[in-house]
Amino acid sequence: MSESRTIQFCGKPLKIKLSPAANKALQQRNTPLHVEMELYFSCMIRKKVRFYEQPTHTEFTPAEQNLNLGFRPVMTQRCSLHETDGPPPLTDFPIANPDSFIPHWISLDFHKGQWLGEFGYD
């Protein structure tokens, strides 16, 4: 059974859902896990959850014991579906009304030594 609670994140409520395995893994950590919710604007929009042992350039908010959360909207510097020389370069995406893009929930799991996550707006 998942454990959930709601925190204030960037001035908005954010529901955090932790699987039992994620909750146990967080409790066993000696340092915080930094979890970034990336909203990627390009030819299409993609949501991705990234996990870091050390803080990145993203501003993180303490959410739980040993869990810090961040939100980063990014965009590609160009949009080409036919590029094959690796991922396109990213840049931060300045959003005029960022409150509209803050996620409503994030769900985290820990399976076979790997962190898994997703976030959404419903």
Tens-digit pLDDT profile for residues 23-52: 999 999 999 999 999 988 777 678 999 999
Rounded to whole angstroms, the Cα distance separating 40 from 102 reads 13
Per-residue pLDDT tens digits for 82-101: 554 555 566 666 777 777 88
Structure tokens given for 108: 């985290």
What distance in Å separates the CA atoms of residue 58 and residue 93, rounded to the nearest whole number?
Answer: 12
The answer to whether the predicted template modeling score (pTM) of the entire model surpasses 0.85 is no
